[in-house]
Structures are given as C-alpha cells and as structure tokens.
Amino acid sequence: MPTALMFASESGITVNGPLVVASFDLFGITFNLTESIIVQWIVMLILLIVVLVISRNLKVVPETKRQAAAEMIVEFFRSTVDGTMGAKYGRHIPYFAALFCFIMLNNLMGLLGLRNPTADVSVTGAFAIITFCMVQYNKAKTGKFKGFMKSFVEPMPFMLPFNIIGEFANPLALTLRLFGNMIAGTVIGALIYFALGHFAVGIPAVTSLYFDIFSAVMQAYIFMMLSMSYISSADCGDE
Amino acid sequence: MEILAKGIVLGLSALGAGTAMIAGLGPGIGEGYCGGKAVEAIGRQPEASGAITRTMIIGDALAETTGLYALVIALLLLYANPLIGKL
C-alpha cells in the first residue's frame, strides 16, 4: 500500500512516501503507478542514452576518450566479477553491470530533487527477488535436482528449517539494507531541514554529500557484491 | 477514555522506537572492529590493500544489517503504527 504521505506533523516535519500518480484496475487487481516507477523510467532513459552514445563507432584500437572510458567501465566490471565469482561466471558480467548502474543512478536521483526510487521497499524488494531467483536457478543448474534438494539438509537433516529460513533471510536483508540506507538519508534530510529552519545553509550539503553521493554509490556496490557472493556460493556442483 | 488509550499507545510506541534504536550500538562496535582490523591488515601487507578494502566493505555491510532492521522497526512504529488500529 503506497502512501502519499508517510508522516506530517503539525510542526512541519514531512516525510513523503512515493506519490501515487495514477491507479487503474486490471483483471480485478489495482495497479498503482507511483512516483518510483516514473523516476525509474527516467533512469532507464538516461542509461539507454549513455549506453548508445558511448558505444558508437568502436575501433579495435581506441582513438577517442569516449571509447577509453567505455573500456575502463567494462574492465572494472569484468575484473570485479572475475575476482569475486571466478572466470566461469563471465556471462553474468552484463547483468551485474546493469544492476550496479541502475541502482546507483536510482540512488543518485535524490540529487536532482526527485524522490529516490530505492527509498521504496517495493523497488528494493524487486531487486532482491531477482537475486533470489538467480541464486535458486544457479543452485538447481549446478546441482541438478538431487543437489538442489540436498543443499537444504546440508550439514545435518535437522538443519532443514534453518536452511529454509536462511534462504529467505538473504533477500530480506538485501531489501532492507538498501531501503534502510536510502530512507535514513531521506528522513535525516527532512529532520535537518526542519531543525535549521531558515538557516538551512551549508549543513544540509554535508549530510547530502554523505547520504546522496557516498552512500548511494557504496550501497549500489555493496548490493552488487553481495548478490555476486550469494550467487556464487549457491554453486553446489562437484568441484 | 479513547484519547487516553490512544495517548498511551502513541507514547509507548515512541519509547519503543527509541529503545529499538539501541541496536545501533551493535553495528557501531562491529564496523569499528572491522575497520580497525582492516587497518592492521593493510599495515602488515600494504600490497593487498585493494582486496582488504573490498572485504572490509562487505563485512561492514553485513554488520550494518541488524542496525537497519532496528531502523525499519523504529520507522514502522513512528510512521505506520500497526498498534493504533488495534484499539
């Protein structure tokens, strides 16, 4: 249930949830078109334009700075995936690059005065569900049916409930980590603006530097790294 | 009477939110320990600083999780109180 207003006190502190722009019924289910979705469309558009511009006229030997920058970005993701997951996960590189760029730009949208889509638990939940599905897929693919079932009774059969809970705790932790960090930035920003009143010069910039830039890039990186380690540790093949 | 009951629930929810955030102690200690050990490790082996920093960030993120659970509970109690509907 997306709320338009999470909290507004009489003293003037307001913390907004994502606004519901439009809602429509489809097959008896109500779909809400929220602010988060609109901002994500903007992010997708930015990413698409950047990718199209940066990948035009590629040469074998880089001539332009544009191509050198593109190669640096690709090399960064390649070395990160190779270093964390191993060379056999090479085909996961585009997914993780897209995940990192998308989450980072979503987090940075706060700088433009838009509401962070990642400060909405349904958006971060969706990211975590993708990772969860990839973990289960990788487990089923490497271990086949037998290995998949065996991984739940791994050290001892009585560990079965703990393993099942642990399997669902990972996406929950991923969701709440990103959401908590972003909503903390939003709430603390609102509190500081309220506390300073008309003297809101300087200090909000410092907290914004931490929450909107440092924390945004860091949380996207952490989300990517944790997804990688969850997926590669789900490998139950015989090595 | 209704207002009194509501006041008690709201007041205790605020207290609960504050108490929940005591959990902030844990991540503080954990991240400090993690950072200190990473500095020690880099001091002993400066050429591995990249890998150590990467591992430290992951450790920090995992240590932070419990604090964020507490934050989510505190925000729930403050902004989307589930108890007030039970009166």
* Residue B82 in tokens: 């589930």
Q: Residue A61, SS3?
A: coil
Distance between CA atoms of residues A177 and A155, nearest Å? 28
Q: Which residue of A has its CA nearest to B69?
A: A176
A172 at B interface, C-beta within 8 A: no
- Are B72 and A180 a contacting pair at CB < 8 A? yes
A173 at B interface, C-beta within 8 A: yes
Candidates A76, A121, A222, partner chain B, best to mutate (most B CBs within 10 A)? A222
User: Hey, where are the domains in chain B?
Assistant: 2-84
Query: How would DSSP label each residue in A44-78?
Result: HHHHHHHHHHHTSS--SS--SHHHHHHHHHHHHHH
Distance between CA atoms of residues A152 and A67, nearest Å? 46
Chain A, residues 36-95, CB within 8 A of chain B, namely 83
**Which CATH superfamily hosts domain B2-84?**
lithium bound rotor ring of v- atpase (1.20.120.610)
* Confidence grade of residue B44 (pLDDT, cut at 50, 70, 90): very high
> Please, what's the b/e burial string for B22-45 (b: 16 or more CB within 10 A of its CB; e: otherwise)?
ebbeebeebbeebeeebeebbeee
Rounded to the nearest 10 degrees, what angle do helices A215-233 and A65-85 cross at?
50
Helices (H) and strands (E) in chain A, counts: 7, 4
Percent of chain B with pLDDT over 90: 30
Run of H or E including A20: strand A20-26
* Chain A residues lying within 8 Å of B64, measured CB to CB: 177
Chain B, residues 53-82, CB within 8 A of chain A, namely 54, 57-58, 61, 64-65, 68-69, 71-72, 75, 78-80
Say if A39 falls within a structural domain. no
Say if A34 falls within a structural domain. no
Say if A158 falls within a structural domain. yes
Q: Which domain holds residue A169?
A: 51-233
What's the number of domains chain A is made of?
Answer: 1
* Chain A residues lying within 8 Å of B57, measured CB to CB: 218, 221-222, 225
- Are B57 and A179 a contacting pair at CB < 8 A? no
* Confidence grade of residue B15 (pLDDT, cut at 50, 70, 90): very high
Tens-digit pLDDT profile for chain A (239 aa)? Answer: 344 445 555 556 666 677 777 777 777 777 778 888 888 899 999 999 998 888 887 777 777 788 888 888 888 888 888 888 877 888 888 899 999 999 999 888 888 878 888 888 888 999 999 999 988 888 888 877 777 777 777 777 777 888 888 888 888 888 988 888 888 888 888 888 888 877 777 777 787 888 888 888 888 988 998 888 888 887 766 54
Closest CB from A7, A177, A183 relative to B64: A177
Distance in Å, alpha carbon of B49 to nearest chain A alpha carbon = 14
CB A159 within 8 A of CB A151: no
Region B53-59: mean pLDDT is: 85
- Output the pLDDT for position A5: 45
- Are A222 and B68 a contacting pair at CB < 8 A? no
CA dihedral over A49, A179, A168, B83, signed as positive or negative: negative
Surface-to-core class of residue B16, CB atoms within 10 Å of its CB (0-12 exposed, 13-18 middle, 19+ buried) = middle
Q: Residue A24, SS3?
A: strand
CA angle A212, A218, A222 (to 5 degrees): 140
CB B4 within 8 A of CB B61: no
* Chain A residues lying within 8 Å of B65, measured CB to CB: 173, 176-177
Say if A42 falls within a structural domain. no
Candidates A121, A225, A227, partner chain B, best to mutate (most B CBs within 10 A)? A225
Query: How many Cβ pairs closer than 8 A exist between chain A and B?
Result: 38
Distance between CA atoms of residues A4 and A23, nearest Å? 13
Residues with Cβ within 8 Å of A90's Cβ and at least 6 positions away in sequence, in order, are A78, A81, A82
Distance between CA atoms of residues B25 and A95, nearest Å? 36
Chain B, residues 10-39, CB within 8 A of chain A, namely none
Say if A20 falls within a structural domain. no
Say if A45 falls within a structural domain. no
pLDDT at B32 over 90: yes
Say if A82 falls within a structural domain. yes
Say if A16 falls within a structural domain. no
